[in-house]
Structure 1
């Protein structure tokens, strides 16, 4: 039996979310829970996560390693801004993860870039 090769085909979303209430961007534990929930809703499997708060009143940086790739967030509460990076391969649905994050943060503005990730010549 020949193994089917795993192709690195996926979608990479880069989202700049703005207009967010500052308190929503300072809580490290809440942001980790949000990203974990977003990954599950998108059909991804969380392997590991690491989140760091820069102290009271400051932002958070965090990343979830997924079987399908990753989700990361970097926040600037003083600007009401979050940079979100979602890369998922296979059957996972990154747009569902982004919708979940944007809704939970009540972000009225989203500037989105979507990049298709595949080897040259892949359909």
Structure 2
């Protein structure tokens, strides 16, 4: 059941288990495989870009932006939504592993861009002119760059952005000396 659920999300359990064991796993997708370039391969090395960050003086796993677009356009254009996600990834300086998007009938698009630094998800309601984006990135990525990309792409009448700094408790535990010793 769990392997099937991961497959439905565009992943497979075998690849994730291998990755967790320190193996470099090829990105997998139910829709398409992205080019495996040196940037994507290097995120699994010791100098990974998905490390904990410091933002506004807070040590955390990363920034998670909740972006709501109201009175937005082109929310039912799947190729356009995909290209916009790719532009977000590029502008944020993130590493795309794969994209899985699903069109709904009669209208709407839902999906995710899986990143080495985390993800961008999208859910659209074109009939209401509304789109919900979650942009979670860690490491050197700049998720805030996605806000301008989304505004330009979908021309919303209103944009609402909330930011959560994720993993504060884990980050504080990692910085304690006893936690480091226990990990060794």
Q: Is the structural similarity TM-score above 0.5?
A: yes
Between Structure 1 and Structure 2, whose CA radius of gyration is higher? Answer: 2
Over aligned residues, Cα RMSD in angstroms?
2.0
CA offsets, 1:31-64, max 9 Å, x none? 0111011111110010011001113x50100100
Q: Which runs of 5+ in 1 are unaligned?
A: none
Runs ≥4 residues deviating over 3 A: 3-8
Higher relative contact order (CA 8 A, sep 6+): 1
User: Match for residue 146 of structure 2?
Assistant: 97
Q: Could you tell me the TM-score, scaled by structure 2's length? A: 0.59
- Count the aligned residue pairs: 118
TM-score of the aligned structures, taking structure 1 as reference length? 0.87
Q: Deviations over 1:60-118 (max 9, x none)?
A: 00100000000011000110000000000011000101210121111121121100013
Hey, which of these two has a bigger chunk of strand by percent? 1
Q: Which has the higher helix share?
A: 2
Task: Give me the whole-angstrom Cα distance separating, in 1, the residues matched to 2:93 and 2:166.
Answer: 18
Unaligned stretches of 5+ in structure 2? 1-45, 53-59, 176-184
